[in-house]
């Protein structure tokens, strides 16, 4: 088996891994890097032929976050006979998210915000639609390539990350032996507000394991119920003093989880029912997909609906935005990293100096992002300066800034327990910062000295 990382392995953007299984070429995910622009945001698809001397027969899309599926149209354009496999819920989300991405890229180019042409157009997406195949959880599907020396089959397992997310188990033959490989993708063993914890096979030979939270000791020391209670207390305090709580979220997954949580807190009387919750953009359309599939996809409680939570739209006009920021109110807007020029970044710049307001971070603030800069500045103490956007700062941080661990990723102890459970011969560590992968490698080798642990370098072929 050949393994080749096509996406940058020193971070969590543009997740994309190539496998050659006895002549069958597979790509696991095809993402884009949100911190890069144009062609620089893409995985290195050219390396499939140049470095692995192979071809892509099938692509597996594990879920609908852009860092896992944003370059899929580019992949299937480069490898025209490749078929893409996903769950039905993921396809429903892609049918909305990829055209939205095409429109956004076109708009940014027309406004001069980027010099790069769009990576793909809406017309191209229409032509590629028939290449996207869906499969139920727990059902085998064929992945054998035309030049494959032996059959390859796949099976999806619920990953517990977002709606439709799946890990994939591959069965294939190598050197006369039946082999199994399991790719976790982004995975979460613990139940969230909407999505229950992930499911996994009983054992495997090769494990491709995500490591997003491998460098975060705090994550393993907290529980979701504890974080929910801490979040409740902080939010109630901010609203009681008439403040605005800004909750930056990823538009796909975290937004819907937080809205249902806010609805629960209102029903419990933990926060006033009259306090408005403002949302914007595509998260409202995504909420419809969440609600439409609540009886056909894994759920903690299928009766919970995102749109059962009353929401108002964030107004477009600057003056109207200023009025609703007077509070009390709750803003659930993208992006989770507070990247420029997203609404969370715009609103944060307006409230960061106000003592009664708060920015409540509910995800992983990656190094170098405005969300991480804000978190680090707040840790220095009141009034510490932060630069949230070029040409807009520095600003003193006077508002409350707290980070809550509502992650859709397993903490590192749970990730180690996956290794314990599956007992693989080989582990390939992916989708994490260098420190995260190093911590995971050290502790896997300590607990399983017989296991071969790899930290693949970007562009280097690993023979397994």
Average pLDDT on 179-193 reads 97
Supply the pLDDT for residue 6: 97
Geometric angle at alpha carbon 347, from 342 and 349, rounded to 5°: 100
> Using 50, 70 and 90 to split pLDDT, how confident is the model at 273?
very high
Average pLDDT on 265-270 reads 96
pLDDT digits (tens, 9 = 90+) for 323-347: 888 889 999 998 899 998 899 999 9
Whether the predicted pLDDT of 11 surpasses 80: no
C-alpha distance from residue 34 to each of 63, 77, 115, 209 (Å): 16, 21, 16, 21
Supply the pLDDT for residue 329: 96
Task: Calculate what percentage of the chain has a pLDDT beyond 70.
Answer: 100
Average pLDDT on 35-50 reads 94
Supply the pLDDT for residue 343: 92
* Same domain assignment for residues 78 and 154: yes
Average pLDDT on 385-396 reads 91
Burial letters for 253-264: b for 16+ Cβ neighbours within 10 Å, e otherwise? bbbbbbbbbbbb
H or E, element range at 21: strand 17-21
* Same domain assignment for residues 23 and 49: yes
* Same domain assignment for residues 74 and 87: yes
* Same domain assignment for residues 413 and 399: no
Alpha-carbon gap, residue 254 to 161, rounded angstroms = 9
Dig out the tokens for 53 from the structure: 């001397």
* Same domain assignment for residues 412 and 378: no
* Same domain assignment for residues 158 and 246: no
Supply the pLDDT for residue 132: 94
Supply the pLDDT for residue 27: 98
Alpha-carbon gap, residue 188 to 198, rounded angstroms = 6
Average pLDDT on 266-281 reads 94
Q: What is the CATH number of the domain that holds 168?
A: 3.60.15.10
Supply the pLDDT for residue 296: 96
Backbone angles phi, psi at 86, to 5 degrees: -165, 175
Q: Is 163 helix (H, G, I), strand (E, B) or coil?
A: coil
Alpha-carbon gap, residue 11 to 435, rounded angstroms = 10
Domain count, the chain: 2
Supply the pLDDT for residue 384: 96
Q: How far is CA 100 from the centre of its chain?
A: 17
> Using 50, 70 and 90 to split pLDDT, how confident is the model at 298?
very high
Supply the pLDDT for residue 98: 95
* Same domain assignment for residues 60 and 186: yes
> Using 50, 70 and 90 to split pLDDT, how confident is the model at 144?
very high
* Same domain assignment for residues 205 and 240: no
- Among 32-46, 122-136, 273-287, 412-426, which range has the highest average pLDDT? 412-426
Average pLDDT on 267-278 reads 95
Query: Among 243, 207, 197, which residue's Cα sits nearest to residue 360?
Result: 243
* Same domain assignment for residues 133 and 169: yes
Supply the pLDDT for residue 218: 83
Supply the pLDDT for residue 401: 97
Query: Among 429, 407, 30, which residue's Cα sits nearest to residue 188?
Result: 407
Query: Among 11, 84, 147, which residue's Cα sits nearest to residue 437?
Result: 11
Query: Among 120, 152, 115, 213, which residue's Cα sits nearest to residue 20?
Result: 152
Q: Of the candidates 373, 403, 433, which is a domain's last residue?
A: 403
Average pLDDT on 133-159 reads 97
CB-hemisphere CA count at 13 Å for 260?
21
* Same domain assignment for residues 170 and 285: no
By mean pLDDT, which of 176-190, 231-245, 270-284 is the weakest? 270-284
Which distant-in-sequence residues (6+ apart) come within 8 Å of 181 by Cβ?
Answer: 1, 19, 169, 170, 172, 204, 205, 206, 207, 208
Q: Is 46 helix (H, G, I), strand (E, B) or coil?
A: coil
> Using 50, 70 and 90 to split pLDDT, how confident is the model at 219?
confident
Query: Among 252, 158, 161, 162, which residue's Cα sits nearest to residue 213?
Result: 161
pLDDT digits (tens, 9 = 90+) for 398-414: 999 999 999 899 999 99
* Same domain assignment for residues 310 and 394: yes
Supply the pLDDT for residue 320: 77
Range of the domain at 162: 2-216+408-463
Average pLDDT score over the chain: 94
C-alpha distance from residue 263 to each of 268, 291, 300 (Å): 9, 14, 15
Supply the pLDDT for residue 227: 94
Other CB atoms within 10 A of residue 13 CB:
22
Supply the pLDDT for residue 147: 94
For 270, counting Cβ atoms within 10 Å of its Cβ (0-12 exposed, 13-18 middle, 19+ buried), the class is middle
Whether the predicted pLDDT of 175 surpasses 90: no
Q: What is the CATH number of the domain that holds 273?
A: 3.40.50.10890
Instruction: Give the residue with greater pLDDT, 366 vs 14.
Output: 14
Whether the predicted pLDDT of 119 surpasses 90: yes
C-alpha distance from residue 73 to each of 7, 43, 58, 285 (Å): 16, 12, 13, 21
Whether the predicted pLDDT of 303 surpasses 80: yes
Average pLDDT on 145-161 reads 97
């Amino acid at each position: 088996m050949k393994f080749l990382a096509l996406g940058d392995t020193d971070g969590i953007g543009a997740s994309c891994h190539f496998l050659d299984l006895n002549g069958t070429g597979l790509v696991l995910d095809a993402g884009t890097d949100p911190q890069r622009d144009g062609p620089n945001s893409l995985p290195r698809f050219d390396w499939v032929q140049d470095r692995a001397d192979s071809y892509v027969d099938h692509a597996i899309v594990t879920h609908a976050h852009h860092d896992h599926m944003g370059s899929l149209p580019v992949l299937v354009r480069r490898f025209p006979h490749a078929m893409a496999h996903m769950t039905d819920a993921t396809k429903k989300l892609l049918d909305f998210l990829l055209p939205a991405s095409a429109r956004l890229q076109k708009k940014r180019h027309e406004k001069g915000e980027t010099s790069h042409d769009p990576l793909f157009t809406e017309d191209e997406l229409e032509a590629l639609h028939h290449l996207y195949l869906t499969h139920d959880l727990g059902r085998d599907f064929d992945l054998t390539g035309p030049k494959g020396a032996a059959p390859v089959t796949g099976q999806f397992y619920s990953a517990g990350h977002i709606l439709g997310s799946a890990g994939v188990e591959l069965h294939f033959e190598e050197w006369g032996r039946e082999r199994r490989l399991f790719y976790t993708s982004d995975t979460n063993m613990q139940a969230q507000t909407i999505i229950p914890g992930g499911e996994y096979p009983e054992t495997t030979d090769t494990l491709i394991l995500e490591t997003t939270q491998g460098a975060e000791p705090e994550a393993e020391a907290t529980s979701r119920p504890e974080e929910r209670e801490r979040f409740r207390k902080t939010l109630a305090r901010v609203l009681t003093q008439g403040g605005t709580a800004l909750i930056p979220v990823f538009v796909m997954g975290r937004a819907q989880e937080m809205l249902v949580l806010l609805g629960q807190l209102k029903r419990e009387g933990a926060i006033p029912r009259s306090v408005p919750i403002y949302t914007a953009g595509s998260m409202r359309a995504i909420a419809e997909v969440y609600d439409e599939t609540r009886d056909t996809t894994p759920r903690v409680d299928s009766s919970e609906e995102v749109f059962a939570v009353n929401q108002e739209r964030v107004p477009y006009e600057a003056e109207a935005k200023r009025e609703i920021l007077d509070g009390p109110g709750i803003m659930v807007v993208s992006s989770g990293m507070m990247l420029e020029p997203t609404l969370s970044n715009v609103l944060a710049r307006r409230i960061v100096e106000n003592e009664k307001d708060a920015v409540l971070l509910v995800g992983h603030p990656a190094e170098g992002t405005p969300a991480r800069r804000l978190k680090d500045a707040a840790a220095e103490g009141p009034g510490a300066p932060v630069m949230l956007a070029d040409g807009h700062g520095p600003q003193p941080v006077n508002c409350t800034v707290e980070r809550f661990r509502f992650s859709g990723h397993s903490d590192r102890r749970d990730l180690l327990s996956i290794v314990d459970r599956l007992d693989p011969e080989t582990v390939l560590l992916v989708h994490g910062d260098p420190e995260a992968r190093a911590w995971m490698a050290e502790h896997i080798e300590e607990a399983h000295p017989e296991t071969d642990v790899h930290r693949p370098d970007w562009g280097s072929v690993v023979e397994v």
